[in-house]
Amino acid sequence: MVKLRTVVLTSSVIATCFAQTTLAQMNSKDHKWITLGKDAALTIEQLVPGLLSERKIIKKPVVNGEVSNNDNISPDKQSTIVVRSINSKRIEVLSVYMHRLFNRCGGFMVHPSYQSAHKFLKQTHRYVDRAKHRAASDIAETTYSINQQQQVAQLLPQITESQIRHTIGKLSAYQNRYYLSETGVQAAKFIKRQWAHLARNRDDIQVKLFNHDSYPQSSVIMTIPGKTKPDEIVVVGGHLDSINGGDPRLTALAPGADDNASGIATITEIIRVLLKNDFYPERTIQFMGYAAEEIGLLGSSDIAAQYREANKKIVGVVQFDMTNFQGSANDIVLMEDYTDPAQNQFLARLARTYLPEMQIGYSKCGYGCSDHASWTANGYPASFPFEATMDKLNWKIHSTEDTIEQSGGHALHAHKFAKLGIAYVVEVAIPFSHDF
């Protein structure tokens, strides 16, 4: 379980919390509906009465993914996820509490209406339950097989720590990558240019900005089309934004070297090595840099929902968010909550096969702790390999001190994640040609 941290909130944050009007005085247009973990909701309701709406807002609670007919049961007793309402101007206050109390990046998801939030909660339960049954299925065994040893063995030595470190340095040099700031917008464009440069010799590859309606920062998507199974998609992603939890967000210094320049750098190195070797997959691969994760998984929520609406077939999703701080003895920690058990098992098998010197651990990070939750909630198998157990992660994130110096000035830990990532991509996307 996630351990609460001892925190002292700044006077400006406290003032913001209590200077707002009561929910009864708000117009409905000021409201946003959110889903968040019950543990977080109960704690925040005790610390900041009035920040969230009243608790019993679901008329018929969700039981095992379905709406119960028993109106006498409190919904909070039936689910680890709850629905709340919040003034849209106070969402960033909630984000501060989620960061400082639970160390969850986001930790909640925003929905346009009560109906959509309630539907989202139901489908999350349904998909999580389905994933548990899928773990032992023949489909999972077929999808997650290991038979590309020669190709993976050829690529692994080409993963370079210095390349990862270089990308971390470039991204953390921005004042911040906040989703509303100009530097946040420019950082997304920089990632697009960098990925497009890596693909400059491949006419089949597309690198595009995915624009969002309600904020200026774009997500970035690279598509390597599959040769024989183009409709089957393998997604590898991480968020590109950063945040300072205390100072004015638009101008605050938020280098975000670990959170999450390290994840984007890990993905970039996977791309570099694949394209250097002229890799053509049977399945389509999409590498994604998500906008606005720190404020409620906004970018990945938009993308995953759009993919579900279009009935796109996602074979698997892996999230790289914070890969360069080894706070615990484990080299890679697989998050077990709101992820796909079958794919988690496969990642552990990949590590045992290709990276036997590494120690693999397991932990839980709570609801909505990173972008994998967006995919899980839309019914896609997602995994989240993380840098440490939750009680020993990098406590300097969301501050001016989230620099590469916290990781010893190198990217050796992220180097491990890039190796795991390239093994995953090759085994699941499958090489079309074995001639590298």
* Cα maximum dimension of the chain: 67
What percentage of the chain has pLDDT greater than the value 70?
84
108 in the same domain as 68: yes
260 in the same domain as 190: yes
| Angle between helix 114-134 and helix 341-354 axes, rounded to 10 deg | 50
CA 333 centroid distance within chain:
15
Using CA atoms, how far apart are residues 108 and 110, in angstroms rounded to an integer? 7
Domain-located, residue 435: no
173 in the same domain as 295: yes
Q: Per DSSP, which regions of 39-159 are E strands? A: 62-63, 66-67, 81-87, 108-111
Does 278 appear as a known binding residue?
Answer: no
**Is the pLDDT higher at 242 or at 87?**
242
Residue ending a domain, choose from 106, 130, 154 = 130
Does 259 appear as a known binding residue?
Answer: yes
Residue 76 belongs to domain spanning: 11-130
For residue range 219-244, list pLDDT tens digits in order: 999 999 999 999 999 999 999 999 99
Q: What is the rounded (10 degree) CA torsion for 94, 375, 339, 235?
A: -120
Least confident range from 89-103, 247-261, 319-333: namely 89-103
Residues known to be catalytic: 239, 259, 293-294, 321, 398
User: Averaged over 304-320, what is the pLDDT?
Assistant: 97
For residue range 60-83, list pLDDT tens digits in order: 344 343 434 333 333 445 568 899
pLDDT score of 21:
34
Domain-located, residue 315: yes
246 has a pLDDT exceeding 80: no
26 in the same domain as 80: yes
For residue range 157-193, list pLDDT tens digits in order: 999 999 999 999 999 999 999 999 999 999 999 999 9
Q: What is the CA radius of gyration of the chain?
A: 21
Residue written as token pair 């409709």: 231
**Is the pLDDT higher at 56 or at 299?**
299
50 in the same domain as 177: no
pLDDT score of 133:
63
User: Averaged over 115-139, what is the pLDDT?
Assistant: 72
Residue ending a domain, choose from 130, 159, 188 = 130
| Average pLDDT of every residue of the chain | 86
pLDDT score of 249:
84
| Angle, CA of 24, 27 and 28, to the nearest 5° | 105
Grouping H, G, I as helix, E, B as strand and the rest as coil, residue 367 is coil
Residue ending a domain, choose from 111, 130, 149 = 130
CA 357 centroid distance within chain:
26
Does 401 appear as a known binding residue?
Answer: no
Does 321 appear as a known binding residue?
Answer: yes
175 in the same domain as 31: no
CA 326 centroid distance within chain:
19
Least confident range from 2-16, 105-119, 333-347, 358-372: namely 2-16
pLDDT score of 121:
82
Domain-located, residue 272: yes
Question: Contact 163/103 with Cβ under 8 angstroms?
Answer: no
Residue written as token pair 């690529």: 155
51 has a pLDDT exceeding 70: yes
Is the sign of the CA dihedral 8, 9, 15, 21 positive or negative? negative
**Which pLDDT band, with edges at 50, 70 and 90, does 26 fall under?**
very low
For residue range 213-224, list pLDDT tens digits in order: 999 999 999 999
pLDDT score of 113:
84
Residue written as token pair 């993380």: 386
pLDDT score of 118:
83
Residue written as token pair 């390239």: 422
For residue range 349-368, list pLDDT tens digits in order: 999 999 999 999 999 999 99
Count of domains observed in the chain: 2
For residue range 279-297, list pLDDT tens digits in order: 999 999 999 999 999 999 9
155 in the same domain as 106: no
Does 294 appear as a known binding residue?
Answer: yes
DSSP string, 265-292: HHHHHHHHHHHHTT--BSEEEEEEEES-
Q: How crowded is residue 79: how many other Cβ atoms within 10 Å of its Cβ? A: 22
